[in-house]
Structure 1
Amino acid sequence: MSHPHPARDCILCGRCLDVCPVFLASGKEELSPKAKHQLMAALRSNPQLLEALPARLLADKCVSCGRCEKACPQGLSVPAALGALRAEHAGWPQWLWQRWINGGNILWPAMATLGRMAPRLPAPAAARPLMEKLAAMHDTPPQPWFRMAAPAAGTQPPLRPVMLFSGCTARRIRPRWSSKATALLELAGIRPQPETAFTCCGATLEHAGLPDAARQARHANITAWHNADRPLLVTFCATCAHGLHGYARHDELWHETPPDSATLWTQSVVPLSVFLQKFPVQVLDTAPEWFRYHQPCHAPAQHDPDAALLYAMAAQTPAAAAHGRRIRPAGMTTRQCCGMGGVMQLAAPSLCGMVNAACWQALDSLCPAQDNACPPPVVTGCSGCTLQLSGTAPEHVAVHHWLDVLTV
């Protein structure tokens, strides 16, 4: 079995136990990153110990959040290790996931259309989670809360060309996110190049145990970037940004490119929210008094630019709000995983549900006491988190990508 860190082994420090959503939701230490690394270390010396079915059962119980790697003093990544294990013991989830991702230009809009009817369709209780997720794919644009104006004169646009990397969700079922991102950039005097030839960032394919498909996606994106004269890549999805930043670790991607390509690529991936930090903001009458922010697993833990933008906008509103209204963030989450889980949604949906329930419990803990009022809406900065939370939200709780709450 291949191993992404052959020179390093788990030292059993247990730091991963404090951050792993699957372990924290289930309480089962055998599902923790530490236990999985121990088992995989044993398999490297005795590969005959594990047959295909137990390998699948182990590999399918990871949401690929990457928190264990950040906490590990050895830098070990369970998603990377289990991606390799999934590739060696492929099953029906890999087959289905590859078709879901690579065939999404047709499948996703079709499912979004079905999602429009999902709330009205009769379904057994076991099928309701699926119907709720289909309903979340249907696009119902909310009313924005903030109006952004052009930044002060003298703000310099970037010297390099700019191109959006919208990600699979925006390209397929949320094109208005890309349109709004373009409008916001143009407000700052930045005219992005048309987005062409980009595909999936490849991260979800890698974690699903589809390394060849992930490699093809990365090569396609790098080729499109080179053909566009190596522009800045502006993204509004934390998971896409995380996946794109990871390209520099794949040496085989850069063999036929100029020597500076890997470094320049990493420097080129910029969150859209970074460009918007200094925009003047007007709060609209549609804005709620409170909102909650769900911090995606793949967003930077300490310096999340999306959270910084939302908090900066909220800080401007006391003086700018009509009728003296305020809009205030209810606080940050504890970075609880939403339970999206990628291919884990297919193979271990009940465990995904446990992780998701823990996320909503954490979000509910942020709600200030309000009598006879709807719970505050939730805002996030990841396309996948937006769909997952929308499809699992309690009644009367709205979930938005932060682009949803802006207008120009």
Structure 2
Amino acid sequence: MPTELSPVHCLHGQGRRPECILCGRCLSVCPLFAATGREELSPRAKFFLARAVAEGRADLSRKAADLLATVCLSCGKCENACPLGLCGPDLVAELRASHPGFAGFLWKLWVERAGLMWPLARSLTKLLPGNIPVEAISRAKAAIEAMGSGRAPEPWLFPETWDRRHEGKKAVLFAGCVAEHANPRWKEAARRVLAGLGVEVLPDPGFTCCGCTLGHAGAPAAQAAMQQHNIEAWRSAGRPLMVVFCATCRCGLRAYARKDLGLSMDELPLWRENLVSLAELMGATTFRTGDAAPRSVRYHRPCHGAGGNQDLDFLRRAMGPRLVFNENETPCCGFGGLTKLTSPELSEAVAGHALAIYAPRPGDQIVTGCSGCVTQLRAAAPDDIRVGHWLELLG
């Protein structure tokens, strides 16, 4: 298995895509198929239909083309399962780019104007009109409230001794959209951790979104513009360590070194080396557990960048046997891609399937290192189960 998942950039720029042989191995890993049993949602079906259209054997309506292009979670699990390395998210990203519609525009707008849209969305919980169906109001409120820290677990991991091997190093913090605009407590907690580790945090150089979501949405020009902006911001800060605590951001930023984005030959290895997860820097830091410690914690491994496992290694050291993780149970949360916007019922079905696999008991917690996964699972989990980013557990 690859050491890193890179679902957004699987085959771009590598010539003509090999043809799907319809073996069906992607069915066993596709979260949409697992949650619904509907094969028309699977990568195999998408490749089959795309080939039929390209060969003139099928003529899809605009509505059908939009459905084909939007119902994908962009998790990238199919790429690892496919014997040819075919990547469903690549296919749908190309379809989105060639058939731009309202959903793609809305997602692009959401990300590009995150500073406006995240706070506005949270405010809408008080302004939703009365003529919206009750179930729609409930769904919207749950998703919006999950962006903040209202249902976060109470801190119960308290650092005792800090690993100071990186003391004196300079770093910039790449917090990501959620921490920048919806849950700034994560960013504040990350700064405290870096201070404890003896790392000097430089002023924010003005990073924007990593652009990963725009790649999924079929907006490559806007994605490239954000990538260029972030590279220039890193340069302006003196090319220091760039610390991330969101798995999707880390995955998106790692891909910069694989694209022709203007990084010089001496910058390419420096970009790879200096892009580090906050969990990696924790090293041998030791913790004591507080009274709020749960009986059991399930670790949710994010789909994007899952191969690194930096969060998991750190949490195993910090939590010991309290942490539960099964390599054979790594369900997708259902947040990724345009499906969250275009087919929320499918997104929720995938989240429900993940929670059924974890089967947490009242009082248990689910912890992860991805902003989107926290948002999705926190909204879907019952009230007696707390879901959080591991930063929220640190006292």
The TM-score with structure 1 as length reference comes to: 0.86
The Cα of 1:361 is off from its aligned counterpart by 0.5
In structure 2, the CA distance between the partners of 1:136 and 1:37, relative to structure 1 (3 Å rule), is: same
| 325, 333, 336: which one aligns with 1:331 | 325
Q: Indicate the residue corresponding to 1:278 in structure 2.
A: 284
**SS at 1:149 equivalent:** strand
Residues in 2 aligned to 1:48 and 1:288: alpha-carbon distance in whole angstroms = 54
The Cα of 1:77 is off from its aligned counterpart by 1.5
Alignment of 1:7-406 (within 5 A): 7-46=17-56, 49-115=59-125, 124-140=134-150, 142-151=153-162, 155-157=164-166, 161-251=170-260, 253-254=261-262, 257-301=263-307, 303-315=308-320, 328-332=322-326, 334-364=329-359, 367=361, 374-406=362-394
After superposition, give the CA deviation of every residue in 1:256-280 in whole Å (9 maximum; x if it has no partner): x422323332232211101113101
Residue 161 of structure 2 contacts residue 287 of structure 2 at CA under 8 Å; is this kept in 1? no
Residue 167 of structure 2 contacts residue 198 of structure 2 at CA under 8 Å; is this kept in 1? no
Residue 296 of structure 2 contacts residue 324 of structure 2 at CA under 8 Å; is this kept in 1? yes
Residue 379 of structure 1 contacts residue 402 of structure 1 at CA under 8 Å; is this kept in 2? yes
**SS at 1:144 equivalent:** coil
**SS at 1:281 equivalent:** strand
Residue 169 of structure 1 contacts residue 383 of structure 1 at CA under 8 Å; is this kept in 2? yes
Residues in 2 aligned to 1:352 and 1:332: alpha-carbon distance in whole angstroms = 23
**SS at 1:49 equivalent:** coil
The Cα of 1:115 is off from its aligned counterpart by 4.1
The Cα of 1:117 is off from its aligned counterpart by 8.5
Q: Which amino acid aligns with 2:336?
A: G
Q: Which amino acid aligns with 2:365?
A: P
Aligned-pair Cα RMSD in Å = 2.5
Q: Which amino acid aligns with 1:349?
A: P
For structure 1, which segment, 349-358 or 163-172, has the greater mean C-alpha deviation from structure 2 after superposition? 349-358
> Please, which runs of 5 or more residues in structure 2 have no aligned partner?
1-10
Residues in 2 aligned to 1:180 and 1:38: alpha-carbon distance in whole angstroms = 47
Residue 149 of structure 1 contacts residue 187 of structure 1 at CA under 8 Å; is this kept in 2? no
Q: Which amino acid aligns with 2:371?
A: S
The Cα of 1:299 is off from its aligned counterpart by 3.9
For structure 1, which segment, 182-191 or 333-342, has the greater mean C-alpha deviation from structure 2 after superposition? 333-342
After superposition, give the CA deviation of every residue in 1:139-189 in whole Å (9 maximum; x if it has no partner): 33643111113435xx43178632111000000011111111111111111
Residues in 2 aligned to 1:41 and 1:263: alpha-carbon distance in whole angstroms = 38
Q: Indicate the residue corresponding to 1:320 in structure 2.
A: none
In structure 2, the CA distance between the partners of 1:247 and 1:403, relative to structure 1 (3 Å rule), is: same
The total of aligned residue pairs comes to 380
Q: Which amino acid aligns with 2:292?
A: T
Residue 117 of structure 1 contacts residue 135 of structure 1 at CA under 8 Å; is this kept in 2? no
The Cα of 1:355 is off from its aligned counterpart by 0.9
Residues in 2 aligned to 1:375 and 1:139: alpha-carbon distance in whole angstroms = 18
Residues in 2 aligned to 1:101 and 1:7: alpha-carbon distance in whole angstroms = 29
Residue 30 of structure 1 contacts residue 36 of structure 1 at CA under 8 Å; is this kept in 2? yes
Residue 293 of structure 1 contacts residue 307 of structure 1 at CA under 8 Å; is this kept in 2? yes
Residues in 1 aligned to 2:242 and 2:49: alpha-carbon distance in whole angstroms = 39
Residue 205 of structure 2 contacts residue 234 of structure 2 at CA under 8 Å; is this kept in 1? no
